[in-house]
Amino acid sequence: MAIQLLILGVLLLVIPVFVGGIFSDVDGMRGGLVFRWVSGQFLLWAGFQFISVPLIIRERNFSQLVWGFWLYMAALMLMAAGRGIRQIQRRVPASLVKGGGKGKQVSEMLFWAIFTGLLLFQLVQAVRLAYADGDDAYYVAISAMTQDADTMYLKIAYTGETTMLNFRHSLAPFPIWIAFLARVSGIQAVTVAQVILPVVLIAMSYGIFYLLGVRLFPEKGGQLPLFLIFTEILVLFGDYSFYTAENFMIARSRQGKAALGNIVLPFLLLLLLIFMKKLQEAERVPVWCYLLIGAVATTACLCSTLGALLICMAVGVAGLSAAVCYKRFRCLVPLAICCIPCICYALLYLLLAD
Amino acid sequence: MWSEAVDLFREYMGTGLIVILYMVSLIYLWIHEKRKYIRVLFLYVPLILLLLYFNPMFAEFIIGTVGGEIYYRIIWLLPITIVIAYTCVCIYGDMVQKQGVTRQSTQGKGAMHKAGKKLLPGLTLACMGGMIAVSGSFIYDNPFFHKAENLYHVPDSVVHICDAIHVPGREVMAVFPMELVQYVRQYSPVTCMPYGREVTVERWNYVNPLCEAMEAEIIDMAELAPLVREAGCHYVILPADKEKKGSPEEYGWILFGEMDGYVIYREPTRELTIPVLN
C-alpha cells in the first residue's frame, strides 16, 4: 500500500509540480509551488480530455488511453525540463517558495496556524467520514469498471450489462481519469475516488484560494491567512442547501462537477483577475495566461458537460466587461480562441447525445 | 421557465442569509473598493451573470437544452465565498488601519478606553465569523455523512458479501436489497445486478417487478423465485430478518452463507462455471 500511495503521490503532486515548471518564470511566480502544482495539473487534465474523448468515441481500449496519456505526460515533462535547463543557463534563481517566515507578526503566525488546523481537520474528515451520494453509483462504478474491464462507457454502470456507447457521459470522462490513477497505482478505483482524491482535491481548492489571496492582498501579510480562514468558515458552513459548490467540495469531491465548481471555476477567476490587472496596467496579456485559460476551458469539459456552458458564460461576460471598461476590444479574440474547446465539445454533445 | 429559475435560486440559497451577506459584501465593495479590476470581476460580472440567470429567454434555452435539474449550477459562477471572505478581511483591515491612525491622535487617554479600542477589530472579526456560521449550516452535520466503515467508503456488508460471492475470472449476477444497491458496483465491478440505482430515484419512475418483489413487506417466494430465475441471477441476498411467505429451499435455492445481517442464497438453475485461470 505504501508503494501504491507513493505512486499516487508522484502522479498527483510531483508530476503536476514538475509540469507546472513550464510556467515557472511567469508573473514573478506569485504563489510559487502552489501555482506550479495547480497549473501543471490543469495542463495534464486538458491533455487527458483531448486524448480520451476521441478514443472513447472510437470505442478503443482503456489501455490505449493509458499509454497515450503517459506519452503526453512524458512530452510535457520534457518541455518543463527544457525550460528548467534554460533557466539555469540564464542563471534565473529557481526559487520555488516565495517569502519565508522572516518578520512575521505573532497574529499572522496564529492565523496561519488556525488555517492549517482547519485544513487538516477537513482532510482528516474526508478520510474518516463517508458521504452517501447516489451519483457515486454511476461515477465511481464507471471508474471501477474501466479499471477492471478495459472498456470505456460500454457497460451500464448500474447493472454491468453491455450497452451502446453512452455519449452524454463520455464527453466528460473525469471518472476515466480516476480509473487511470487506479490502474497506474494499483489501488482499487473506489478507494482512489472516495478516500485519496477528496484529500488532494480539497487541498487543491484551498491552494487556489491561496493563489487568489496572494493577488487580492499583495502586501498585507496577515490578511492572506485571515482570508483563507474565512474561506474555510464559508466552506465549513456552506451546507445551507444541497446544491452549493461548498457542499460538493466537501461531500462529493470525487465527482467531476465538484471539481468544476471548486477547482476549475475558482482557477478561472484567478486567471481572469490576472488578465484584468494586465489590462488595467495597460500591459500586454501574456500568452501563458491565455494558454491556461484554454486549459481551464478544456478541463471544465472533462469535469462536466455543463462545464462548456459555464466557461463560455464566464469568459464571455468577463471578457466583454473588461473590453468595455478598459476599451481593449482586441483582447476578445484570444479569449474567444480559448473557448473553442468548449464550443467543440458542446457541439459534439448536441450532435451525439440522445 | 423564469419561475423555475427563481425556485432553483431560492432552493440554492437555503435560508437566504448567505445571500444577504453576499449583497452586503457587494454594497461594501461598491463603496470602498478602489481597484477597478476587482470591481469589474467581483461586482459587474456577477451582476451581469445574475441578469442572465433570471432572463426568461436564456433560462428557457438552457433548461430546454441541458435540463432544469442542473440550471442552478450557473450560480456557481458567482464568487460568493471569495467575495464574502474578501470583504470581511477588508473590513478588518480598514479597522486596524483606522485604529493605527486614532492611536497616534489619542495618546494620553485612559487605559480602559485604549484596551477596548484595541479589541474592537478582533471582536468584529469574531462577529463576522459567527454571522457566517449562523447564516450557514455546518457541513458535517449533514445526515448523509457517517463514519466510514472501511477504506472503500461502502458498507462492510457489501464488501463481505461481494467477496464471498466473487468467482475469480468471471462476473456473477446477484440481486441485492435496495439499501445496498448503490454501493455494490462501486466496490465490485464484476458483480452484476438485474437492477441498480435507477430504482432508488423516485423521480425517474423506474419500475422493476423483481425489485418490487424483493422490497415487499413480506417476501412472497412464489412470486420472487421465477423473477430471480428469469433475470439470470446466480445469487440472491435477502435481509436475515425479513419475513418470507414460503421457504427458499422449496424453490431449489441453496443457503450459501449468512453475514452482516444478510442471507445469501445460491440460485442453482443458472450455471456458474469457474473458468480455468492461467
pLDDT per residue as tens digits for the range B166-179: 988 889 999 999 99
The mean of the pLDDT values for chain B is 88
pLDDT per residue as tens digits for the range B222-242: 999 999 999 999 999 999 998
With an 8 Å Cβ cutoff, are A313 and B142 in contact? no
Q: Which pLDDT band, with edges at 50, 70 and 90, does B200 fall under?
A: confident
pLDDT of residue B5: 87
Strands B254-259 and B262-266 turn out to be: antiparallel
The answer to whether B81 contacts chain A (CB < 8 Å) is: yes
Task: Give the Cα separation of A203 and A195 in Å (integer).
Answer: 13
Return the domain boundaries, chain A: 2-93+106-352
With an 8 Å Cβ cutoff, are A260 and B135 in contact? no
- Residue A67 C-alpha cell reads as 499509454
Query: DSSP string covering B219-248, please?
Result: EEHHHHHHHHHHTT-SEEEEETT--EES-G
Q: Which of A130, A243, A318 sits opposite B148 (nearest CB)?
A: A130
The DSSP 8-state label assigned to residue A129 in this structure reads E
Which chain B residues touch A327 with a CB distance below 8 Å?
none
Chain A nearest-CA distance from B153, in A, is 5
For B225, counting Cβ atoms within 10 Å of its Cβ (0-12 exposed, 13-18 middle, 19+ buried), the class is: buried
Q: What percent of chain B has pLDDT over 70?
A: 92
Residue of A nearest to B33 (CA): A216
With an 8 Å Cβ cutoff, are B84 and A277 in contact? no
Q: Write the CB contacts of B116 (distance below 8 Å, at least 6 apart in sequence).
A: none
Residue of A nearest to B82 (CA): A231
pLDDT of residue A203: 97
The answer to whether B206 contacts chain A (CB < 8 Å) is: no
Strands B262-266 and B235-239 turn out to be: antiparallel
With an 8 Å Cβ cutoff, are B190 and A231 in contact? no
With an 8 Å Cβ cutoff, are A243 and B11 in contact? yes
Residue of B nearest to A126 (CA): B148
Which chain A residues touch B37 with a CB distance below 8 Å?
273, 276-277, 279-280
Return the domain boundaries, chain B: 2-141, 156-266
Return residues 124-163 of B near A (CB < 8 Å).
125, 128-129, 132-133, 135-142, 144-149, 151-154
Q: Write the CB contacts of A311 (distance below 8 Å, at least 6 apart in sequence).
A: A264, A268, A296, A297, A300, A301, A339, A342
Cβ atoms of residues A143 and A178 within 8 Å:
yes
With an 8 Å Cβ cutoff, are A227 and B89 in contact? yes
Q: Which of B79, B139, B195 sits opposite A159 (nearest CB)?
A: B195
Residue matched to cell numbers 455519449:
A167
Mutate to test the interface with A, among B89, B142, B181, B208 (most CBs of A within 10 A): B89
Task: Give the Cα separation of A248 and A269 in Å (integer).
Answer: 18
Residue of B nearest to A306 (CA): B66
pLDDT of residue A26: 66
Q: Which of B132, B153, B194 sits opposite A237 (nearest CB)?
A: B132
Mutate to test the interface with B, among A1, A128, A136, A159 (most CBs of B within 10 A): A159
Task: Give the Cα separation of A230 and A110 in Å (integer).
Answer: 14
Mutate to test the interface with B, among A163, A239, A309 (most CBs of B within 10 A): A239
The answer to whether B88 contacts chain A (CB < 8 Å) is: yes
**Residue B199, number of CB atoms within 10 A of its CB:** 22
Task: Give the Cα separation of B272 and B267 in Å (integer).
Answer: 10
Task: Give the Cα separation of A37 and A18 in Å (integer).
Answer: 8
Chain A nearest-CA distance from B270, in A, is 17
The DSSP 8-state label assigned to residue A11 in this structure reads I
pLDDT of residue A108: 85
Residue of A nearest to B79 (CA): A266
Q: Can you name the residues that pair with B173 across neighbouring β-strands? A: B192
- Residue A218 C-alpha cell reads as 499583495
Task: Give the Cα separation of A91 and B69 in Å (integer).
Answer: 55
Task: Give the Cα separation of B185 and A190 in Å (integer).
Answer: 9
With an 8 Å Cβ cutoff, are A137 and B183 in contact? yes
With an 8 Å Cβ cutoff, are B89 and A234 in contact? no
Return residues 217-276 of B near A (CB < 8 Å).
none
Task: Give the Cα separation of A70 and A181 in Å (integer).
Answer: 11
Give φ, ψ of A176 to 5 degrees.
-70, -35
pLDDT per residue as tens digits for the range B8-49: 999 898 888 999 999 999 999 999 999 999 999 999 999 999
SS3 of residue B256 by DSSP? strand
What single-letter amino acid sits at A162? T
pLDDT of residue A30: 62
With an 8 Å Cβ cutoff, are B196 and A137 in contact? yes
With an 8 Å Cβ cutoff, are A223 and B93 in contact? yes
Mutate to test the interface with A, among B15, B82, B125 (most CBs of A within 10 A): B82
Q: Which of A133, A137, A238 sits opposite B185 (nearest CB)?
A: A137
pLDDT per residue as tens digits for the range B73-125: 999 999 999 999 999 999 998 888 887 766 666 655 566 566 666 788 889 98
Q: Reading across the β-sheet that carries B235-239, which strands appear in turn?
A: B191-192, B172-175, B235-239, B262-266, B254-259
pLDDT of residue A104: 64
Q: Which of A233, A236, A243 sits opposite B12 (nearest CB)?
A: A243
* Residue B203 scores a pLDDT above 90: no
Chain B nearest-CA distance from A212, in A, is 9
With an 8 Å Cβ cutoff, are A231 and B72 in contact? no
Mean pLDDT, consecutive 10-residue stretches, chain A (354 aa), reads 92 95 69 89 96 94 96 94 78 48 73 96 96 92 93 91 86 96 95 96 96 87 90 94 93 94 96 93 89 96 93 95 92 94 91 74
For A287, counting Cβ atoms within 10 Å of its Cβ (0-12 exposed, 13-18 middle, 19+ buried), the class is: exposed
